[in-house]
Amino acid sequence: MKKMIALAIGAALLLSGCGGDSATSAAEAKYGSSTLKLYNWGEYMGENLISNFEDEFGVKVIVEYFDSNEMMYTKLQAGDAYDVIVPSDYMIERLMKENMLQKLDLSLIPNISNLAEGLKNLPYDADNSYCVPYFWGNVGIVYNHNNVDPAEVERLGYNLLQDTTYKGRIYVYDSERDSFMMALKALGYSMNTENESEIEEAYNWLLQMNDTMEPAYVTDEVIDGMINANKDIAVVYSGDATTILDENEDMSFFLPTEGTNLWSDSMVIPANAENPLLAHEFINYVLTHDASYDNSETVGYPSSNQEVLDEMSAADGIYGENEAYLPRTDYAKDEVFEDNPVLKQKLAELWIKVKASH
């Protein structure tokens, strides 16, 4: 028995010894630790992003995934420590207000000069003192141009989702933010409105859609659903539209003239991060040409790196023919979501009521 224990201890020592090779100890000397804890969206990274970063800097990356900003926020509030997180615009605004983020040291992120033009001067953090964009895009309509006339799509915009000709043939994104954005824009209001009667009107617009159109409320299933042409119309994130158009040439993309959401997901370092130096290194790494290219190629979302964006959307680039890839910027009716907890709570409840009323 004693022999067995000795053997086990020996094996454990041997195993722990294996971790301490020269690259790791170099990283430890430089950053204070050799482990980076990353908290990102699922299916949101290039195939080799993590392994290349690990090899290049001799570190280990632990990745965890979330599927909503709210889930991420709940975990962060519970005290879980991460070094880098990639939340969306309005959530970053909220984290900033609540002092849950560290100020970035931009001298450690020289690649910030690669940032895409459309992502400079973000309304919630104009000088990138807290966040560096990761992916961005719009929300628009993907439709099957064999079954839906493009002229109709352009004429109706979001009101296409109220035209009973297409009953039972639509996907709607299952989130209160995106559905109310669509309804408010269709009615010609701001998607950040706090006006009670405008919200009420949007609620009725969604109820009308729910009661007459038999919509299917989906999240990521919309990608496969549209690739398989299960339905004819879907309101989706432009990055998902890029993938759909890539896989099925019957699909087209349209950004409604009533305006849409210009969103961005950015990398931030939480206040309780244990390894901020390595976190800066990772943020800088994501902005390199190769890492950005890998990300955008795998995921299909628009890159935050201007050079990659130009390269991919050029005529001979991999998304050169894809009308969904390049985000629309400088369009007056497009807006960025603002953080408003009271409004958000109200919309969340109205949205579940819309879905439940049938």
Partner 1 sequence: MVKQFRNMAMPYIVWMVAIIVLPMLLIVLYAFTDKGNDVTTIRFSLENFARFFSDTVFMSVLKRSLYIAILTTVICILLGYPIAYAIASRSERSKLFWILLITLPTWINMLVRTYAWMGILQDEGVVNHLLGFLGIPPITMIHTTFAVVLGMVYNFIPFMILQIYTALTKMDKSFLEAASDLGANAVQSFLRITLPLSIPGVISGITLVFLPAVSSFFIPKLLGGGQYVLIGNVIETEFLTSGDWNFGSAISLAMAVIIMVSMYITKKVDTDPGANGRRE
Site for partner 1, rule CB under 8 A: 68, 70-71, 74, 174, 176, 210, 215-219, 228, 230, 341, 344-346, 348-349, 351-353, 355-358
Rounded least distance, CB 256 to partner 1, Å: 22
Smaller CB distance to partner 1: residue 145 or 344?
344
Rounded least distance, CB 19 to partner 1, Å: 30
Rounded least distance, CB 182 to partner 1, Å: 15
Smaller CB distance to partner 1: residue 233 or 287?
233
Alpha-carbon gap, residue 13 to 334, rounded angstroms: 58
Angle between helices 176-186 and 341-356 (to 10 degrees): 90
Smaller CB distance to partner 1: residue 223 or 326?
223
Smaller CB distance to partner 1: residue 145 or 346?
346
Nearest residue to 72 via CA among 64, 337, 83, 277: 64
Smaller CB distance to partner 1: residue 65 or 331?
65
Alpha-carbon gap, residue 72 to 86, rounded angstroms: 9
Residue 159 is classified by DSSP as G
Rounded least distance, CB 258 to partner 1, Å: 24
Identity of the residue numbered 130: Y
Rounded least distance, CB 138 to partner 1, Å: 22
Burial 265-276 (b: 16+ CB within 10 A, else e): bbbbbbeebebb
Tokens, residue 250: 């019957």
Nearest residue to 265 via CA among 327, 204, 218, 206: 327
Alpha-carbon gap, residue 131 to 134, rounded angstroms: 9
Smaller CB distance to partner 1: residue 1 or 356?
356
Smaller CB distance to partner 1: residue 56 or 67?
67
Alpha-carbon gap, residue 54 to 33, rounded angstroms: 13
Length of the chain in terms of residues written: 358
Rounded least distance, CB 141 to partner 1, Å: 18
Rounded least distance, CB 337 to partner 1, Å: 14
Instruction: Name the E strands within the chain.
Output: 35-41, 60-66, 84-85, 131-137, 139-144, 170-173, 216-218, 233-237, 251-254, 263-268
